[in-house]
Structure 1
């Protein structure tokens, strides 16, 4: 009788386990493997899986054991220890016995599967609906900054942007534990979307009459989310993190509401301090005496899904730039100068998309899968995308200014945003390079130098020409990326994280 096999898919191929010890399992029907019975081994790295394997009667060919990963051939098989996978540069760790079901998992978070893998968890349609609210939020921030283009206005906009992105990031991370097919999960996400819509509506006058509305809504979003995860959908792994976050958000909430009540010139410093408290606490894992701090593995992030959500957020920001460009053009008198300005700012948006996706943005999922700590790398990638989104918002402000008045004098504040948006974007893109490839591309640094060289000439140039020079710098970087990748194919090599 033919022997039946049980199979587990890897990113690198397939391993088949026969039901009888006499048969030899195969990897991709080529590499010999030992006979196996019943003991669980957990692999951490790009070959992330939990396998129902057993005491092996021989050493697995190609696997270099380290420490006490196994007993002598023919004895008790694998024990807790470390080894190196021959099919990828990452290391795994034996993690005990007694597991049964075959499923994807890692210690630093869920494995980042390829979109073509059956285990890949795609963002739900409701999450894309949720992002529509943030289109409105970013449009509001961009147009508000364009109308108040001062250092104070920039600081006010940055504080609000950080507040919105904190809600977005925590919602994305927490959604991994939500069952968005159930009414309770859908209701939670819709509630956050509705409250965020109110928050975005109040943002235009957040430093005026709507300050208290903005602050109370912001604090309420965090508080209600904590209540939901604590009572309605409790998770043993997520609950401690929820408690820590709520404690710190409670501290920051005092600043948000206090700043709104103070108003005037004291509001911005107090709100800025509240944001610093939030992001500093997040950077250190929301440490709380007695219950410790959160670690990346506590979130059990599905790297492939979260990476796709990050990409979607970048697309949302780019869409905001296009929306502002088109709206400004349609509301202005049609002239050939404005048509040229429209082409320049649209070209800038296209180049930002190209530079992002080629190749680090495209390979982020694979980099997370190869990381020694996928969960931590997933969370770190959020910072890089925040920086890039801030740069894209700057590009949206540029669209509003340049399309509205392409010729004439370029004030210093205009030059700062026209050149500063692409510069900030390149900084974030450089950090993404390091996240995915473990190094920063020289073209990012060269682009920043070129933008700095353009700055002294801006008082002599009209806004549209300053924007054209910034676009030219981005075009050179995109071309350098294309040439470099064709000459030397790049594969993800994320930095070692603990």
Structure 2
């Protein structure tokens, strides 16, 4: 009887695969969060050497914590019925915690470390306990219980980093994030209970594909916001107007390259495989890199629009050129996960940017952004030419093709 009550929380086969309005509302908190991440990255524009590396690492750490919150929520709403009041309460509570993390993020490695860590732990520890209680006697309740135990294990590292000396915060939080990500990869194993491999979970593949596509669009939207805000706050000179136009074209090309075939077919790919959660796990890591690449690229827009023909600064290359390079690497990975092969255009574009980077270090930022836009345009044109007149290719993912283990009662 208890299992029956708990089973009412699970997604029925008749549930809509599309994201709900509540989830789109939830994403608003992460629009704020991604904007704050970009602002922290942009603050590194004048740094060099070890200072730049250290600042980049701190901001990356905060982004990884945010990503874990968002991706866990996406998987929760792919496994449980979003129209259930308990799940709705969980999503709204997570949104509030995400908003706290967003507003504290600019100084989260400094004096606002405690509220950032406390909001993170409220989601990671309390949320799975609420879901486990709602599942009552259902076998799946052991999955959120595992999450809560592992999150409790990393909690002392988060709290020690927030309350301890400033110079220990980064290493302690790096260890904490590593524990949380490794636990996810291993399936949160516990003595006597074993692990619950995410690749074996039963999920709504259409919903998960929707969520990844939406998060990528949110990241692109943040880049458009950066373009508009920076240009509107500067003098309307011809060189800045040109940088504004090239930055917009670059974001449009990122959208085109992502959705051309591979990004457009996420839903079909997840529907065709025998174990969609296995493919979904791979796509989660790929989209982490894709979203990060767009955020880093957006910082390059800000630096270029602010001073298009300023003196050459090699420390801008990680943003102006490095972001698009990371995007192409991630896009290659995405194409392999969807089709089991890689087209030539993206690796060629990546090599072209690598070869150009040493020379771009001696040119004005505007030259670097223009070269990036030109390479991305070439990649998009080659892809379009190769597909011209051909029918849409069906997904053939090499991931998730094995038959599921029907004996896995926790899935």
Give TM-score scaled by structure 1 length. Answer: 0.74
Distance in 2 (alpha carbons) for counterparts of 1:110 and 1:481 = 39
For the structure 1 residues 263 and 316, does the alpha-carbon distance in structure 2 shift closer, same or farther, using more than 3 Å as the test? farther
Question: Of residues 341, 355, 364 in structure 1, which corresponds to 2:257?
Answer: 355
Q: Distance in 2 between matches of 1:350 and 1:234?
A: 48
Q: 1:410 Cα shift?
A: 2.8
Q: CA RMSD in A?
A: 1.9
Over residues 10-39 of structure 1, what are the superposed CA-to-partner deviations in whole Å (9 max), with x where a residue is unaligned?
Answer: xxxxxxxxxxxxxxxxxxxxxxxxxxxxxx
Whether contact under 8 Å (1:260, 1:267) holds in the other structure is yes
- Who is 1:495 aligned against? 398
Matched, 1:256 2:158: yes
| Greater RCO (CA < 8 Å, at least 6 residues apart) | 2
Match of 1:92 in 2: none
Residues 208, 263 of structure 1: 8 Å contact kept: no
**2: CA distance, partners of 1:297 / 1:138:** 28
Q: 1:165: which partner in 2?
A: 67
Distance change in 2, residues 1:286/1:485 (3 Å): farther
Superposed displacement of residue 232, structure 1: 3.0
Equivalent residue in structure 2 for 1:379, among 266, 281, 284: 281
Partner of 2:49: none
Q: Is the 8 A contact 1:143 1:400 kept in 2?
A: no
SS in 1 for 2:308: coil
Higher strand share: 1
Going from structure 1 to structure 2, the CA distance change for 1:285 and 1:334 (only over 3 Å counts) comes to: same
Structure 2 match to 1:11: none
Equivalent position to 1:129, from 7, 10, 25:
25
Equivalent in 342, 353, 363 of residue 461 of structure 1: 363
Structure 1 stretches of at least 4 aligned residues deviating more than 6 Å after TM superposition = none
Provide the C-alpha distance between the structure 1 equivalents of 2:264 and 2:282, rounded to a whole number of angstroms.
Answer: 17
Deviation at 1:224, TM superposition (A): 1.8
How does 1:56-95 map onto structure 2 within 5 Å? none
How far, CA to CA, are the matches of 2:86 and 2:197 in structure 1? 27
Give the Cα separation in 2 of the matches to 1:297 and 1:269.
Answer: 30
Match of 1:148 among 44, 65, 68: 44
Structure with the greater alpha carbon radius of gyration? 1
Unmatched 5+ stretches in structure 2: 1-10, 46-51, 403-411
Q: Counterpart in 1 of 2:35? A: 139
User: Which residue of 174, 185, 188 corresponds with 1:272?
Assistant: 174
Q: CA deviation at 1:235?
A: 7.5
Residue in 2 aligned with 1:186?
Answer: 88
Q: Contact conserved, 2:17 with 2:207, CA < 8 A, in 1? A: yes
8 Å CA contact 1:110, 1:303 repeated in 2: no
154 and 297 in structure 1: CA distance in 2 versus 1, 3 angstrom threshold: closer
Unaligned runs of 5+ residues in structure 1 are 1-108, 112-117
1:138/1:317 contact within 8 Å kept: yes
Question: TM-score of the superposition, structure 2-length normalised?
Answer: 0.89
Deviation at 1:233, TM superposition (A): 4.5
Does structure 1 residue 368 correspond to structure 2 residue 277?
no
Which structure's residues are more often helix, by fraction? 2
Partner of 1:23: none
**C-alpha displacement at 1:238, in angstroms?**
3.4
2-side partners of 1:110 and 1:402: how far apart?
Answer: 50
Measure how far apart 1:184 and its partner are: 3.0
Q: Write the distance in 2 (CA, Å) between the matches of 1:493 and 1:132.
A: 34
Are the aligned partners of 1:241 and 1:298 in contact in 2 as well (CA < 8 Å)? no
Deviation at 1:277, TM superposition (A): 1.6
